[in-house]
Amino acid sequence: MTGASPHTSYAVAIGSNRRHHRHGLPAGVVRAAAQALAALGTIRAVAPVRATPALGPAGRGFANGAVLIDSPLAPPALLAALKRIERGFGRRGGRRWGPRVLDLDIILWSGGGWAEPGLVIPHPDYRIRDFVLGPLAAIAPGWRDPLSGLTVRQLRHRQRRPQPCPAVPPVDRGRSSF
């Protein structure tokens, strides 16, 4: 044992819905953030940036992306580093779900789950967010969610499927009288 930290893999989601004085439009912010993440480890894959309609009260539409990164940082250290990068892009507090120049979330970790105040992995809401699942499906379709056992691809298909109307009971074909 050399004492070096083992490298682990993370999926990190990137979002922006404000311009940046240097990086320009939100899509430019997302690309620049993906490059900034290289300071934290080895980038294995970068998803194409997508324009997505804002979910919630954030107003303007977003640019969203995602990267896979191998990093020696443990989850709390990675989160602290992501917050430093957000601040470096000019993010200052702001209300939850408000407009932001940069949002970096840890979505998945090769170590499985992590839960403490202020850090939950997998990210609690990613399974129902197409703006996360879309970019993630482009770079890690086979990554299995440790809670549900479903792959990212399966979660995305499930999330995009029209939901059955709960008021209409399913037809029981076996008992049909005609």
Catalytic residue annotation: 91, 100, 103, 105
Count residues contacting ligand ATP (CB under 6 A)? Answer: 12
Among 77, 97, 128, 160, binds ligand ATP (CB under 6 A): 97
Site residues for ligand ATP, 111-140, by CB under 6 A, read: 118-121, 123, 125
Residue type (1 letter), 95: R
Could you tell me which stretch among 57-65, 137-145, 153-161, 164-172 binds ligand PH2 (CB under 6 A)?
57-65
Tokens at 168, concatenated: 């209409």
Residue 32 CB partners (closer than 8 Å, separation 6+): 20, 22, 23, 89
DSSP string, 66-85: EEEEEESS-HHHHHHHHHHH
Among 103, 106, 143, 155, binds ligand PH2 (CB under 6 A): 103
* Residue 104 DSSP SS3: strand
Residue (86 or 103) nearer to ligand PH2, CB:
103
Does 105 bind ligand ATP (CB under 6 A)? Our answer is yes
